């Protein structure tokens, strides 16, 4: 029974990531009755091909119709989403509390990855976490949030090295996580960014995907 529960949790979490991929890619042109199709030949996918992670394995990473390679980022992010939630549960984290924040961050990560910007409207997804936190008497780090915003905004204004979306997102994380964790998140994200640069030699300015992975790791290990 427990195994079935964890299996269902995994499927649900990876399906949510899969949905957020589409949302991040297509927004604001979302069609909820649109059927998923191959990026190359546009053939509509069968139900079993839509199954997170497993669909990719069954197809051996290629479209059934045109043999075009399916990008590894789809199964990889679905898998990571499932593993993240299962690890959180195993470690006894109150994952429901931070679920809205992580949904927001994953969505922003895909928007940033595909388009290089994020839609601020989705900041509203962070509200439930703030409300739950206050109801649970968890601390909201107002001063840390204010400090983070001021420093990063000045960096954005004078240095142009950081986007306004990153400033706002980091402020939300600072308000919820406090001084120690926000520093760890920033350092972790920068380390991932540098590592990726060294491996691929491709300079990437899209910071939110690294930030999302870093937040997930810091949340799990702290
Ligand atoms: Zn195809």
3-state SS string for 96-139 = HHHHHHHHHHHHHHHHHHHHCCCCHHHHHHHHHHHHHHHHCCCC
* pLDDT of 32 strictly over 70: no
**Measured distance CA(155)–CA(150) in Å, rounded:** 9
CA of 45 to the centre of ligand 1 (A): 9
pLDDT at 129: 92
pLDDT at 204: 60
CA of 79 to the centre of ligand 1 (A): 22
Mean pLDDT confidence for 98-116? 94
**Measured distance CA(189)–CA(73) in Å, rounded:** 18
**Measured distance CA(61)–CA(188) in Å, rounded:** 30
* pLDDT of 31 strictly over 90: no
Rg of the Cα atoms in the chain: 18
Give, as residue ranges, everything with CB less than 5 Å from ion ligand 1: 38, 40-41, 63, 65-66, 68
Query: In the predicted model, what is the mean pLDDT of the chain?
Result: 89
pLDDT at 33: 67
Q: What are 37's strand-pairing partners?
A: 44
pLDDT at 8: 94
**Measured distance CA(21)–CA(89) in Å, rounded:** 23
Percentage of the residues of the chain whose pLDDT score is greater than 90: 53
CA of 68 to the centre of ligand 1 (A): 5
* Residue whose C-alpha is closest to residue 213's, from 67, 108, 86, 92: 108
């Amino acid at each position: 029974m427990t195994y079935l529960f964890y299996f269902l949790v995994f499927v649900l979490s990876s399906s949510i990531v899969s949905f957020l991929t589409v949302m991040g890619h297509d927004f604001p042109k979302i069609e909820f009755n649109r059927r998923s199709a191959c990026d190359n030949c546009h053939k509509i996918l069968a139900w079993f091909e839509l199954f997170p992670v497993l669909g990719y394995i069954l197809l051996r990473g290629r479209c059934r119709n045109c043999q075009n390679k399916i990008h590894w980022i789809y199964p990889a992010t679905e898998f990571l989403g499932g593993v993240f939630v299962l690890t959180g549960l195993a470690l006894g984290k109150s994952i429901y509390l931070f679920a809205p924040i992580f949904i927001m961050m994953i969505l922003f990560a895909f928007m940033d990855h595909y388009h290089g910007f994020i839609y601020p409207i989705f900041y509203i997804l962070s509200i439930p976490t703030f409300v739950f936190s206050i109801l649970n008497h968890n601390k909201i780090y107002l001063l840390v949030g204010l400090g983070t915003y001021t420093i990063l905004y000045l960096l954005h204004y004078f240095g142009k090295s950081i986007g306004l979306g990153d400033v706002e997102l980091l402020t939300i994380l600072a308000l919820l996580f406090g001084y120690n964790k926000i520093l760890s998140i920033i350092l972790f994200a920068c380390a991932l960014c540098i590592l990726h640069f060294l491996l691929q030699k491709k300079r990437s300015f899209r910071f939110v995907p690294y930030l999302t992975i870093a937040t997930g790791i810091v949340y799990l290990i702290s």
